[in-house]
Amino acid sequence: MPAIERRLLEVLAAAGPDPAATPANPRDCLDRAYEAAYAEDHYGAVTLARLGLEQATESDTDTVLALYSVLIAVAQIQDQTSDAEYYLAQRVERLRTAGRKVQASVEADLGTVLFREATAAELPVLEAALEQLQATKAPVGVLADVKLAIAVAHSQKGVRSTAVALLEDAVEGYAAGERTDSLAGALMYLAHTYLQLDQPGQAVAAADRLLAIPANRALAASMWLLKANLANTGEHDDEAIEYALTALELYAACGVRKGAISAAVVVAQLCAAAGDAESSVLAWRAAVQQAERGEVQEELTLRLALGNQLLEAEEYELAAQVLGKLLQRQRLTDAPHSDKARTLMSLGHAHRHAERTADTLDCWREAVAEFTGGGEYGEAARSLLAIGTLLSREDHDADAIVCFEAAVAAARKSSDDAAALPQALHALGHAMCEAGDQDGIAQLDEAIRLARDYGAHWYEADYSDTRARGLWALDHGPAAVSAALQAADLYSAADDAASAGNSELFAAHVLAELDRPADAVPMFRMVLAQPEVSRMLRVAANLGLSSALDSLGRKDEAEEARRAAEEAAEN
């Protein structure tokens, strides 16, 4: 079994942190408290921090101070101001007992602001305090505390250039003061600030520095995930997968569900891009599992992503099971119309691949109703196009045209989806022409005009090519040739030489069918003269050329063209 699959299966099999397990010592309590706080488990963070204080001895000063920091921060998150002030008073007393009088005085004066994001009104107070402390040559660790608080406030205001300089100073201050826990937190802020400033090299360097020192699993995981996202450039995908998988393992182990979900999604996307469908499916399963365990709001969205990945992996029956259960949940929870509609469309695709046409049509028709109920008329139109296309393949051409007409009507109601109407008109026009209805050309003309107005040059060419084929279906041969050559010019202008060649080949075939081989021969030769002609196009053009030359009695040239077609087919 590949290593990635094995590790993902281990994540899926693991139960996560045991809330009943008692940490072995105050340091373990601190790490677990940090991790609980990152997981937004405030009760767990407080419980673990208090347990650490109970276990601590006189020699555990740094750990005790950090435990009080957790308690102060969590109390403020929960708007428990009196508790935060109580824990701060206890921390200040411990600082004084340890002989850190300057730090004790600063924290007593500034209060709990050092343990949360400062407000705009508090920022000048912090800056004044920093200026005074620098003038009195306060210890580097104390200066770092104030610089960190100011940096975070500036970062929240978007003044990141100022923030990064302060963070760099804070990092060096904590390093000089040998305050490892504070150093880890500052490095995390610094790495993310570098990232926001589009300085990936510095961000990775800060992350690597954090990973080289003792840190709790949640902090380490955040740095591995940062590195994964930065390595995800298409050139270092193996490294990116390794980093993201490591982040997933760490986040899952310490119960930080949202982080685990983010990491699992990155793993899933990277594996899918690398063609590893099995691992991608497992990663999506891990994301869903973490969402379930954390009662995360995005769980249903992740289930849809899992179902879609199973479709990509051609696991159609399993996809149908996952999507069917998701649809049941969405109906029970009265999910938004658009959410149910998207699930229904994916479920319909699962049924289609399993050759259950009736189930497919039922799903897609219900999706049309849901999209319409949610006011998403463009998506309703696309759902109708899918139904019409399937009906056409099943030789229900009249029913297909009815669906395409409904798609056009729905698309005309859409005010925010400009692409829907020309797509619907294109499908309707093509179907009408194939059915012998001259009005199909008018539908295609409107689609072409809209594409031109929107500046969608390739679609203008594509719809023009369909118009040429529609004219031929309606027995307008000369007009079809002219339209095909116009489409070829439009394709060329849109830098699609291959499609231009196909349009020219169609024009040549029409000329041959019109019993104009003398005109068809130069057209076939024009196709073959184009640079980088595809193998299939070369075969088709040479065969067409051979037939036209035969009609003209030019047997030697016809045989030469046939041999060229055979050589192209073999190569």
Q: Would you tell me how many other CB atoms lie within 10 Å of the CB of residue 305?
A: 18
Q: Would you tell me how many other CB atoms lie within 10 Å of the CB of residue 532?
A: 8
Under DSSP, the state recorded for 438 is T
Task: Report pLDDT for 1.
Answer: 61
Q: How many domains does the chain have?
A: 2
pLDDT in tens, the chain (571 residues): 689 999 999 999 998 888 778 899 999 999 999 999 999 999 999 999 999 999 999 999 999 999 999 999 999 999 999 999 999 999 999 999 999 999 999 999 999 999 999 998 899 999 999 999 999 999 999 999 999 999 999 998 888 999 999 999 999 999 999 999 999 999 999 999 999 999 999 999 999 999 999 999 999 999 999 999 999 876 778 999 999 999 999 999 999 999 999 999 999 999 999 999 999 999 999 999 998 888 777 888 888 988 998 998 888 998 999 999 999 999 999 999 999 999 999 999 999 999 999 999 999 999 999 999 999 999 999 999 999 999 999 999 999 999 999 999 999 999 999 999 999 999 999 999 999 999 999 999 999 999 999 999 999 999 999 999 999 999 999 999 999 999 999 999 999 999 999 999 999 999 999 999 999 999 999 999 988 889 999 999 999 999 999 999 999 999 999 999 999 888 7
Location of structure tokens 């057209």: 523
Q: CA angle, 48 as apex, 45 and 52 as ends, to 5°?
A: 135
CA dihedral sign, ordered 72, 73, 74, 78: positive
Q: How far apart are CA 2 and CA 226, in angstroms?
A: 25
Please give the structure tokens belonging to residue 301.
């969205």
Residue 397 belongs to a domain: no
Whether 36 and 48 have beta carbons less than 8 Å apart is answered as yes
Q: Would you tell me how many other CB atoms lie within 10 Å of the CB of residue 535?
A: 11
Q: What are phi and psi of 122, to 5 degrees?
A: -85, -20
Of residues 208, 263, 309, 272, the one with CA closest to residue 7: 263
Residue 201 belongs to a domain: no
Residue 102 belongs to a domain: yes
Single out the residue in 115, 144, 161 at which a domain terminates: 115
Please give the structure tokens belonging to residue 70.
């957790």
Under DSSP, the state recorded for 114 is G
The range of the structural domain enclosing residue 489 comes to 479-571
Whether 491 and 503 have beta carbons less than 8 Å apart is answered as yes
Please give the structure tokens belonging to residue 174.
């904590």
Task: Report pLDDT for 20.
Answer: 76
Residue 435 belongs to a domain: no
Location of structure tokens 């295609």: 444
CA dihedral sign, ordered 489, 495, 497, 500: negative
Residue 495 belongs to a domain: yes
Single out the residue in 75, 98, 115 at which a domain terminates: 115
Single out the residue in 65, 81, 115 at which a domain terminates: 115
Please give the structure tokens belonging to residue 166.
């302060």
CA dihedral sign, ordered 281, 287, 288, 290: positive
Q: Would you tell me how many other CB atoms lie within 10 Å of the CB of residue 237?
A: 15
Please give the structure tokens belonging to residue 569.
């087919």
Q: How far apart are CA 32 and CA 26, in angstroms?
A: 10
Residue 538 belongs to a domain: yes
Q: How far apart are CA 261 and CA 301, in angstroms?
A: 12
Q: How far apart are CA 24 and CA 158, in angstroms?
A: 42
Concatenating the DSSP letter of every residue in 168-212 gives HHHHHHHHHTT-HHHHHHHHHHHHHHHHHTT-HHHHHHHHHHHHT
Q: What is the 3-state secondary structure (H, E, C) of 258-283?
A: HHHHHHHHHHHHHHHHCCCHHHHHHH
Q: List, in order, residues 6 or more apart from 316 with CB less than 8 Å away.
A: 310, 350, 353, 354
Q: How far apart are CA 184 and CA 68, in angstroms?
A: 17
222: exposed, middle or buried (Cβ count in 10 Å: 0-12, 13-18, 19+): buried
Residue 57 belongs to a domain: yes
Query: Count of residues for the chain?
Result: 571
CA dihedral sign, ordered 51, 54, 55, 58: positive
Residue 310 belongs to a domain: no
**What radius of gyration, in Å, describes the C-alpha atoms of the chain?**
33
Please give the structure tokens belonging to residue 267.
């793993």
Task: Report pLDDT for 234.
Answer: 67
Whether 254 and 41 have beta carbons less than 8 Å apart is answered as no
Whether 290 and 257 have beta carbons less than 8 Å apart is answered as yes
Please give the structure tokens belonging to residue 217.
């699993």
Of residues 415, 424, 422, the one with CA closest to residue 382: 424
